[in-house]
Amino acid sequence: MPFQKPYFRRLLLLLTFIFCASLGAHAQKTREQLEREKSENQNKIKEIQSILRQTASQKNVNLGQLKALNQQINTYKKQIDLLSDDLDLLNKELRVLEKKRQTLDSSLAKLKTEYGHMIYEASKRNVYFNQLVFLFSSGTFNQFVLRYKYLKQYTEARQGQVKEMEIVQDRLMAERRRITVKQDQQKTVLNTRVTENTKLEGLKTKQNEVIQELSQKEVELRKQIAENKRATDLLEANIRRIAERERRERIERERREREEREARRKAERERLARENAEREKKGEAAVVAEPEEEAPVTSGGMSEEETTLASSFTASQNRLPWPVKGFVSGHFGQRPHAVLKGVMVDNLGVDIQTTAGEPVRSVYDGVVLDVTEMPGMGNVVAIQHGNYMTIYAKMNGVTVRAGQKVKARENIGRVATDSDGTSELQFQIWKNTSRLNPESWLIHR
């Protein structure tokens, strides 16, 4: 079987291409993910830039400006990390492409060597005998057929070898072009990373300047902390009042429902007693005298609709939409003050800094429990979701009223802007009278 070797080699070459292609597919998946993350982070950079421009337009530096600078620095750091990941990925892709190129180079060299041997052998045979003489010198017809098949197979093998070389040559040129493209991408990413580093250093310089200037306003900052504390305490007291009111109403609903169930059961017992008395007079057997226990229609004082809503809200953890565009400028719980050393501030929820007049949306279906205006907190909206509550403070232009049903992502008002030019929504999540960390409920951005 003298002409099967090229076919085995073609199979080996095909398997090599399949292996390399699978590596490329894996890299492509990572590439798509990386490009998506870069794009999302770039959008965050643009979003924070607009917020930073708003706070920086004020004559005096303020905490809002510092928070926006801190967030912008974090997004630039992430972008530089993503660009570094991009360079690592490009290096891996180039190594895969180079390996494929080397495989193709080696395959092409072997094909050319084998083809040279075939041409050499053919030239020797042409010297010693003519193909027609070779055929017609056959001793039998069967020998003639075998010689004919041999010559046909030999010719097809030579033609196949030429086609194979052309295919490998085309693939080799394509891989070389891809390598050139990747190298150009590498240069672009390197230049971009240098540019982003320069911007980052500029932001850090500005950050230090703002911190130094704010540090000289300790008296003013401490006064601001005290005012915020009073406003926060007032807000918390109002929320607990609302939560307690709802708790009492649920207890009252449950009591009324229990009394109504007992009244219905008592009436049913009395009816059965009368029926049994009548049956006894007639000499008939008595019916069952104890009515079945009714299942309660509420759970913990909540209606069936409220129970269903609370259950679906619970299942939405880590998937709630953001109430407003922007970034978390104040995290949940006790945190060190951004400027004053040794000073802790407590946050009942999260602060989300955004641009002036940005619309605020409900994060889930629910019923508006309360709309009020409070010192230091502007307009405050409380929305009930079963035994959960979401709170939206530091708003203006509220468009909902108490008792109104709202849908998820429905506009309920706009973010207010304070005297420093900072537009910041205070967002909270409560379950009964316990406050929860909103960052563990909102979808990751």
Tokens 């009436």 -> residue? 267
CATH code for the domain defined by 308-440: 2.70.70.10
pLDDT, tens digit, 9 for 90 and up, residues 393-436: 999 989 999 999 999 999 999 999 988 889 999 999 999 889 99
Tokens 């079963």 -> residue? 386
* Residue extents of the structural domains in the chain: 5-215, 247-305, 308-440
Nearest CA to 82 out of 192, 181, 225 is that of 192
Against a cut of 0.85, is the pTM above it?
no
Q: What is the pLDDT of residue 127?
A: 42
Nearest CA to 156 out of 54, 6, 43, 264 is that of 6
Q: Which fold has domain 5-215?
A: Helix Hairpins (1.10.287)
Q: What is the pLDDT of residue 116?
A: 64
First to last CA, the chain: 64
For the chain (length 445 residues), average pLDDT per consecutive 10? Answer: 46 45 49 86 87 78 88 90 85 79 72 63 53 59 66 61 65 73 80 86 88 88 91 93 86 82 83 82 72 60 85 94 95 91 92 95 96 94 95 95 96 93 95 93 90
Rounded to 10 degrees, the C-alpha dihedral 219/220/222/227 comes to 140
Q: What is the 3-state secondary structure (H, E, C) of 52-113?
A: HHHHHCCCCCCHHHHHHHHHHHHHHHHHHHHHHHHHHHHHHHHHHHHHHHHHHHHHHHHHHH
